[in-house]
């Protein structure tokens, strides 16, 4: 079905909650409530987001998480990469040598182009935009797909 994992989906929701929090430090507990998700799940994905440097964590009592940078500087691609690793539509596009057919595969190069097109599409949407479902932006982002 070509989809991101649930955890990635949840991550975008939690991130938007952090945007709504306006820079305040929010605990995983609070974020779980606001996102209406289970605490262990939210806790898990926040750790991954922190590891990727998208959120900053504060330990100890009154600790919690906050965005590492401006919502306009965080893209959906950042979140996807943080949760799922490098974007690659086929196995051979990220892990070289994992496919026996690499040497005689004619479609590999083109898949790599498709990859970057999709990465661009994901990178063209910022977290700030994700939090504004109603306000339709007047323009649109042109993504250029270079194909063989």
Partner DNA sequence: GCAAACAGTACAATTTTGGTCCTGTTTAGG
Partner DNA sequence: CCTAAACAGGACCAAAATTGTACTGTTTGC
Note the residues at the interface with DNA (CB under 7 A): 1, 5-7, 10, 27-29, 38, 40-41, 43-44, 46-47, 50-51, 57-65, 84
Residue 129's contacts (CB-CB under 8 Å, 6 or more residues apart) are: 137
Mask for 105-144, x = binds a second copy (CB under 8 A) = xxxxxxx-xx--xx--xx-xx---xxxxxxxxx--xxxxx
- Any contact of residue 104 with a second copy (CB under 8 A)? yes
Q: How is residue 133 annotated by DSSP? A: S
Q: Which does 66 bind (CB under 5 to 8 A by kind): DNA, a second copy, none?
A: none
Query: What is the DSSP track for 13-74?
Result: HHHHHHHHTTT--B-HHHHHHHHT--HHHHHHHHHHHHHTTSEEEE-STT-EEEESS-GGG-
61 binds a second copy (CB under 8 A): no
Provide φ and ψ at 65, rounded to 5°. -125, 155
Helix, strand or coil, per DSSP, at residue 75? strand
- Write out the residues near a second copy by the rule CB under 8 A: 1-4, 6, 9, 12-13, 16, 36, 76, 80, 84-91, 93-94, 100-101, 104-111, 113-114, 117-118, 121-122, 124-125, 129-137, 140-148
């Amino acid at each position: 079905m070509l989809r991101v994992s649930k955890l990635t989906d949840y991550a975008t929701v939690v991130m938007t909650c952090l945007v709504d929090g306006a820079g305040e430090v929010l605990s995983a507990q609070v974020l779980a409530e606001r996102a209406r998700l289970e605490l262990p799940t939210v806790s898990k994905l926040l750790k991954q987001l922190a590891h990727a440097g998208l959120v900053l964590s504060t330990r100890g009592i009154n600790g919690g998480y906050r965005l590492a940078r401006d919502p306009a500087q965080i893209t959906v691609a950042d979140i996807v990469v943080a949760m799922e690793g490098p974007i690659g539509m086929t196995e051979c596009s990220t892990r070289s040598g994992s496919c026996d057919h690499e040497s005689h595969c004619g479609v590999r190069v083109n898949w790599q182009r498709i990859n970057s097109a999709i990465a661009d599409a994901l990178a063209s949407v910022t977290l700030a935009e994700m939090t504004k479902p109603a306000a339709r932006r007047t323009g649109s982002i042109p993504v250029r797909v270079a194909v063989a």
